[in-house]
Amino acid sequence: MPNSLDSIIVFGDSPVEERQAPVDPGHLIAGDPLHTLLNYYDDDTGQYRAGIWASTEGKWHAFGPRNEFCHMLAGRVRLADKDGNSKIFSTGDSFVITPAFHGTWEVLEDARKLYVIFEAGQT
């Protein structure tokens, strides 16, 4: 019988491929941010994933039909909605972004976060 503890994913315990990518030029507003992604988990449906994300300073149009939990490990970011309302998050803050959010993501100081994303309707 397999050990059920093998089904627990511990970030950092197993090597994952680090991916780096610039922001899509069609979404970019300011700066030249570079994203680094360590994706530790993807479910079989492609709807659910979790890992660590980092970015250098910049601003871009963000988000689509997904729910995302974030816990800031370092840095400062500003999320602004399409009406100009904004909120700044920094090291230690935790928050959830729902599919109702449409706006911008701006990295004010190089940032790093834990993320858990659920995208309904993906197959």
Question: What are 34-90's pLDDT values in tens digits?
Answer: 999 999 999 999 899 999 999 999 999 987 789 999 999 999 999 999 999 999 999
Q: Is 23 exposed, middle or buried (0-12, 13-18, 19+ CB in 10 A)?
A: buried
Q: Compute the mean pLDDT over every residue in the chain, rounded to the nearest whole number.
A: 93
User: Using 50, 70 and 90 to split pLDDT, how confident is the model at 15?
Assistant: confident
Enter the pTM of the model.
0.90
Q: What is the pLDDT of residue 1?
A: 59
Are 29 and 43 contacting, i.e. CB atoms less than 8 angstroms apart?
A: no
Question: β-pairing, 94-97 with 67-81?
Answer: antiparallel
